[in-house]
Structure 1
Amino acid sequence: MKRIKITDEVKGTFKNNWNFCVGTERMGIALQKEYLDTLEFVRKAINFKYIRGHGLLHDDTAIYREYEIGGEIKPFYNFTYIDRIFDSFLERGLKPFVELGFMPSKLASGDQTVFYWKGNVTPPKDYDKWKGLIQALVNHFIDRYGIEEVLQWPFEVWNEPNLDIFWKDADKAEYFKLYRVTAFAIKEIHKGLQVGGPAICGGADHWIEDFLRFCHKETVPVDFVSRHLYSSKQPKLQTHELVYQDLAEPEDMLKELKAVRELINASPFPGLPFHITEYNTSYTPLNPVHDTCLNAAYLARIISEAGDIVDSFSYWTFSDVFEELDVPRAQFHGGFGLVALNNIPKPTYHMFSFFEKMGRYILYRDESMLVTRKSDQTVTITAWNPEMTKGEDFSKDISIELVLQDGEYFIKRNTVNEQYGNPWHAWIQMGRPRFPVKKAVETLREIARPRVDYDKLSCTGNKLLLELTLSKNEVTFLEISRIKEESETYYRLDDSMIPGY
């Protein structure tokens, strides 16, 4: 049994960098009702501040068009859809973390595309027209939402240009040209607008070094560095519907973040803000691990610690309303989302909601637990027990001694594990219905709720003892609040008079 003694000494501050931003499928899909319903559901439980996704300039948002007028081809900028989309974000308390991409077909220099929805990944054929598009877009945002609002929006140039599937030939020099033109176009409008990149995937951090050297040498504006982070290894088995991968250990993700932070601090721009604009376990939306309790327990440590290293890290994504590799073919299909189709929350959603309830002041933290105190003196604990080994017998016993004022305390515990709050497992037991009927959907939503336990414990000698058992891949949340006893205010209170009590 693991034994922990937790005093009332504050060890640090739990930073809310973990809920700064969340990822989304392309902008155009934000016009769907289920997407917006899920966004509303997630936003009520988890206080994400920003939202980031692909496809802002893709043809389905219709921002960039060209028409022949008087024998001359001229751009036309259409903001009908993007206004509707950004309005829906802001109405729900979310600001855009603006990813500038992909290339409108009329402006593209080639026909290479990515994803089911065919995002064009080639450079602009006319950089003057690209500059005009960027400035028209940013000026429109300012006109519609005001400069004070738009000054809060980071503008990220492109997505993973180090991969040839996202940027033709992974041409670094061409990306630097795109970045230069874009950064200056934005800064010409207002020098306070934030612009950054290079939004690379992991394993190519030399791009960040070269990018920052380029910006310094060429005096190109850069306000933040962005990067992505996934921990899955190469596929063990891959079909047209599912991908199976092993995962590195969670601490490997933290080591990667520390290495990049050190790289930035050693660059000509030490201390530059560092944003992880995508992260998850697997990088494919066909990996069933995303639907599991392991995904939640695995990432809990990242949420607990990564905020001390990066300025933000954005979970990819909030919803399984997502079409990169075609329209989803089943209720559970390995999608990235915190919430599955039909608005069914996954275990990782609940893990996020647990951290949302944590306090600001850290009393204790290790690789499997975070203990905090709120300003009202309530103590909160989130603990997790990830286990990637096959088998059942991986429970963990923990004895926690808390230093508190003497008195009575109410303990509430929410639990997600293989048995509770695990709709994916229930769906398997149902026979894996691809398109479940309404009754089955309601059952899955009911099963998706965490288990709730409660107790009343006494603290004597300033010591309150908690005994916890965490099952395999469990994430649990405890709230410990002092009881203000009011039983004596009731006239002639006698519970023994209640039949059967």
Structure 2
Amino acid sequence: MVKIKIPKNSDGKKFTSRWRYCVGTGRLGLALQKEYMDTLKFVKENIDFKYIRGHGLLCDDVGIYREDVVGNDVRPFYNFTYIDRIFDSFLELGIRPFVEVGFMPKRLASGTQTVFYWEGNVTPPKDYEKWSNLIKAVVSHFISRYGIDEVVKWPFEIWNEPNLKEFWKDADEKEYFKLYKVTAKAIKEVNENLQVGGPAICGGADYWIEDFLNFCYEENVPVDFVSRHAYTSKQGEYTPHLIYQEIMPSEYMLNEFKTVREIIKNSHFPNLPFHITEYNTSYSPLNPVHDTPFNAAYLARILSEGGDYVDSFSYWTFSDVFEERDVPRSQFHGGFGLVALNKIPKPTFHMFKFFNAMGEEVLYRDNHMLITRRDDGSIALIAWNEIMEKTENPDKEYELEIPVGFKDVFIKKQMIDEDHGNPWGTWIHMGRPRFPSKEQIKTLRDIAKPKIKTGRATSNDGYVNLKFRLGKNAVVLFELTEVMDESNTYIGLDDSKINGY
């Protein structure tokens, strides 16, 4: 048993909400689907992400770039019908775009190479002047529709993972820098106060960030933030429908955060904000790990500590309404989403929701626990027990002395683990129905809730004793609040007279 006496006073450390700054989405065109918007509303209401980032702003399904042929003249036409509908919907929910500029409209592309089921073109523009004009037209339209006071709050991130051949033809660093320069200058030409940044690389190529910042300095190219992605899965075993990968310890991702922060500090732009614009365990939307309690317990430490090193980190993604590897083939299929198809919350959704209850003042933190005091003096405690390898006794037991500023304490406990808030496990019990019936969906939603238990305690010398056990891949939230007892206001109150009491 682990015994800890929590200090009454903090050492000044603050728990930030940087984990809640942004969340990822499938391509923007998916926002035209009803289930997508219903799920985003549900996530926003429960977790309150501030920004949303996704691919496909300039892809043909959103339809911004078109060309009309008039005689021998080819004239660009900019169509904002769908993007207005999409961004209007985001802003009506109170969530702002973190704008990823890409991929290439096919009529403007220099080649035919594409990525994903929905064929995002990843080649440079065949005409950089037309590309620059497109960027200026899009940004000018945003300002015209939403106002500069709003759009100046939107970061503009240029491209996605150009260090990979799948996302940028030949992973050509020099060509990406050209694209970045033209794009950043076009955006700044519209309004110099707009935020531009990149290079949005994936892990394993941090020299790109050094090269990128040197390029921006030497060429006098605008840069307002640095962006990168982070995943902790190794190369995997592929099957026709799924992938299985080994996941590295959470320290691996946190060390990546630290490493890139140091690169920025040692550059010509030491104070630039640093955004992780994608992170998760696996980088594949076909890895069942995303559906499991392990994913929640594993990522809890990232939420607890990640804000110490980055200005934001954006979970990839909020929903399984997602089509990179074709239309999803079953209810649970390893999708990235916090919420599965049919609006069924996964364990990781509840882990995020637990963190939403945390206060700002840190009383205690270690690799498996975070305890905070909220502004009203109440206490919020979250603890997790990710099990990386098979073990005979995965349980952990705790006995904590928690400081409270009141005598009578109401204790609310919420927990997810292998047996609670785990619809994936119930789906397996059902026989893994690919396309569950309405009754099966109802059952999955019913089971996709944390176990909730309440109690009451009396503090002793300003402390409450709290004992609990965490099973395999459990995440627990305790909230300790003051009891405002009004029992004595009920005339003739006598619970002993209640039948069955």
Output aligned runs, 1:389-408, within 5 Å.
389-391=389-391, 393-405=393-405, 407-408=407-408
Query: Alpha carbons of 1:438 and 1:391: their partners in 2 closer, same or farther (altered >3 Å)?
Result: farther
For 2:30, the equivalent position in structure 1 comes to 29
- After TM superposition, the structure 1 stretch with the greater mean CA deviation from structure 2, 406-415 or 95-104, is 406-415
For 1:500, the equivalent position in structure 2 comes to 500
For 2:118, the equivalent position in structure 1 comes to 117
Contact 2:24 2:278 in 1 (8 A): yes
CA distance in 1, matches of 2:311, 2:404: 33
For 2:466, the equivalent position in structure 1 comes to 466
CA distance in 1, matches of 2:418, 2:403: 32
Tell me the CA shift for residue 9 of structure 1.
0.8
Contact 2:378 2:404 in 1 (8 A): no
Is the aligned partner of 1:375 residue 2:381? Answer: no
For 2:490, the equivalent position in structure 1 comes to 490
Name the SS for the 2:61 alignment partner.
Answer: helix
Contact 2:105 2:121 in 1 (8 A): yes
Is the aligned partner of 1:411 residue 2:386? Answer: no
Any idea what the Cα deviations from partners look like across 1:38-68, whole Å, max 9, x if unmatched?
Answer: 0011110001000000010000001000111
Amino acid of the residue matched to residue 39 of structure 2? T
Name the SS for the 1:350 alignment partner.
Answer: helix
For 1:16, the equivalent position in structure 2 comes to 17
Any idea what the Cα deviations from partners look like across 1:60-85, whole Å, max 9, x if unmatched?
Answer: 00100011124210100000000000
Any idea what the Cα deviations from partners look like across 1:226-256, whole Å, max 9, x if unmatched?
Answer: 0000000110x21121000011100111111
Tell me the CA shift for residue 404 of structure 1.
2.3
CA distance in 2, matches of 1:327, 1:402: 48
For 2:63, the equivalent position in structure 1 comes to 62
Amino acid of the residue matched to residue 129 of structure 2? D
For 1:318, the equivalent position in structure 2 comes to 318
Amino acid of the residue matched to residue 211 of structure 1? F
- After TM superposition, the structure 1 stretch with the greater mean CA deviation from structure 2, 100-109 or 386-395, is 386-395
Gaps of 5+ in 2: none
TM-score (norm 2): 0.99
Any idea what the Cα deviations from partners look like across 1:165-217, whole Å, max 9, x if unmatched?
Answer: 00000000000000000010011111100000000000000000000000000
CA distance in 2, matches of 1:405, 1:83: 50
Tell me the CA shift for residue 8 of structure 1.
2.1
Contact 2:379 2:404 in 1 (8 A): no
CA distance in 1, matches of 2:393, 2:447: 23
CA distance in 1, matches of 2:112, 2:158: 20
TM-score (norm 1): 0.99
Name the SS for the 1:59 alignment partner.
Answer: coil
- Identity fraction in percent: 63
Contact 1:406 1:460 in 2 (8 A): no
Any idea what the Cα deviations from partners look like across 1:342-380, whole Å, max 9, x if unmatched?
Answer: 000000000000000111111111100000111111100
Output aligned runs, 1:279-298, within 5 Å.
279-298=279-298
Contact 1:153 1:194 in 2 (8 A): yes
Contact 2:160 2:199 in 1 (8 A): yes
CA distance in 2, matches of 1:373, 1:453: 21
Tell me the CA shift for residue 10 of structure 1.
2.0
Contact 1:385 1:475 in 2 (8 A): yes
Tell me the CA shift for residue 489 of structure 1.
1.3
For 1:333, the equivalent position in structure 2 comes to 333
CA distance in 2, matches of 1:275, 1:405: 37
Is the aligned partner of 1:100 residue 2:74? Answer: no
Any idea what the Cα deviations from partners look like across 1:383-419, whole Å, max 9, x if unmatched?
Answer: 0000021245200001110122451211000000000
For 1:189, the equivalent position in structure 2 comes to 190
Contact 1:406 1:461 in 2 (8 A): no
CA distance in 2, matches of 1:405, 1:326: 54
For 2:342, the equivalent position in structure 1 comes to 342
Q: Runs ≥4 in structure 1, deviation > 4 angstroms?
A: none
CA distance in 1, matches of 2:165, 2:461: 64
CA distance in 1, matches of 2:240, 2:150: 43
For 1:86, the equivalent position in structure 2 comes to 87
For 1:127, the equivalent position in structure 2 comes to 128
CA distance in 1, matches of 2:160, 2:429: 39
Amino acid of the residue matched to residue 439 of structure 1? E
Contact 2:5 2:402 in 1 (8 A): yes
Number of equivalences: 500
For 2:444, the equivalent position in structure 1 comes to 444
Is the aligned partner of 1:435 residue 2:458? Answer: no
CA distance in 2, matches of 1:406, 1:166: 56
For 1:164, the equivalent position in structure 2 comes to 165
- After TM superposition, the structure 1 stretch with the greater mean CA deviation from structure 2, 406-415 or 347-356, is 406-415
Tell me the CA shift for residue 466 of structure 1.
0.2
Output aligned runs, 1:222-241, within 5 Å.
222-235=223-236, 237-241=237-241
Amino acid of the residue matched to residue 303 of structure 2? I
Any idea what the Cα deviations from partners look like across 1:307-329, whole Å, max 9, x if unmatched?
Answer: 11100000000000000000000
Contact 2:412 2:452 in 1 (8 A): yes
CA distance in 2, matches of 1:402, 1:257: 31
CA distance in 2, matches of 1:396, 1:387: 11
For 1:144, the equivalent position in structure 2 comes to 145
Name the SS for the 1:221 alignment partner.
Answer: coil
- After TM superposition, the structure 1 stretch with the greater mean CA deviation from structure 2, 426-435 or 388-397, is 388-397
For 2:249, the equivalent position in structure 1 comes to 249
For 1:307, the equivalent position in structure 2 comes to 307
Contact 1:43 1:92 in 2 (8 A): yes
CA distance in 2, matches of 1:212, 1:86: 31
For 2:212, the equivalent position in structure 1 comes to 211
For 1:258, the equivalent position in structure 2 comes to 258
CA distance in 2, matches of 1:47, 1:374: 18
CA distance in 2, matches of 1:318, 1:87: 18
CA distance in 2, matches of 1:426, 1:406: 41
Amino acid of the residue matched to residue 80 of structure 1? T
